[in-house]
Structure 1
Amino acid sequence: MSTPLGFLRVRVNRGVNLAVRDFNSSDPYVVIKIGRTKLKTRVIKKNLNPQWNEDFTLSVLDPNLPIRLTVYDHDLFSRDDKMGDAEFDVKPLLEAMRLDLKGLPSGTVLARVQPSKHKNCLADESCIKYIDGKFCQDLILRLRNVECGELELSLNWIVDTHV
Structure 2
Amino acid sequence: MASPKPSSSSSSLMESLLGLLRIRVKRGINLAVRDVRTSDPYVVVKMGKQKLKTRVIRKDVNPEWNEDLTLSISDPNLPVKLTVYDHDTFSKDDKMGDAEFDVKAFVEALKMNLEGLPGGTIVTRVPPSRQNCLAEESCVTWTDGRVVQDMCLRLRNVECGEVELQLHWIDLPGCKGL
Q: TM-score, normalised by structure 1?
A: 0.94
Q: Does 1:105 align with 2:131?
A: no
Preserved contact between residue 10 and residue 55 of structure 1 (Cα < 8 Å):
yes
Distance in 1 (CA, whole Å) between partners of 2:30 and 2:43 is 14
Q: Does 1:146 align with 2:136?
A: no
Distance in 1 (CA, whole Å) between partners of 2:95 and 2:115 is 46
**Partner residue, 1:11:** 24
Deviations 1:84-134 (A, max 9, x none): 00011110001112223243112111000000112x100000110111221
In structure 2, which of residues 29, 37, 48 is the aligned counterpart of residue 35 of structure 1? 48
Q: Unpaired segments of 5 or more residues in structure 2?
A: 1-8
Distance in 2 (CA, whole Å) between partners of 1:107 and 1:29 is 30
Amino acid across the alignment from 2:38? S
Preserved contact between residue 115 and residue 145 of structure 2 (Cα < 8 Å):
no
**Partner residue, 1:47:** 60
Tell me the matched-pair count: 161
In structure 2, which of residues 133, 136, 146 is the aligned counterpart of residue 124 of structure 1? 136
**Partner residue, 1:23:** 36
Question: How much identity, in percent, do the aligned residues show?
Answer: 64
Q: Unpaired segments of 5 or more residues in structure 1?
A: none
Preserved contact between residue 96 and residue 158 of structure 2 (Cα < 8 Å):
yes
Distance in 2 (CA, whole Å) between partners of 1:10 and 1:38 is 13
After superposing on structure 2, the runs of 4+ consecutive aligned residues of structure 1 that deviate more than 4 Å are: none
Q: TM-score, normalised by structure 2?
A: 0.86
Deviations 1:37-85 (A, max 9, x none): 1011111111000000000111011111101110000011110000000
Distance in 2 (CA, whole Å) between partners of 1:89 and 1:161 is 25
Greater share of residues in helix = 2
Residue 160 (structure 1) shift? 4.4
Residue 156 (structure 1) shift? 0.5
Corresponding residue SS for 1:97: helix
Corresponding residue SS for 1:95: helix
Distance in 2 (CA, whole Å) between partners of 1:153 and 1:102 is 24
Residue 161 (structure 1) shift? 4.1
Distance in 2 (CA, whole Å) between partners of 1:72 and 1:16 is 14
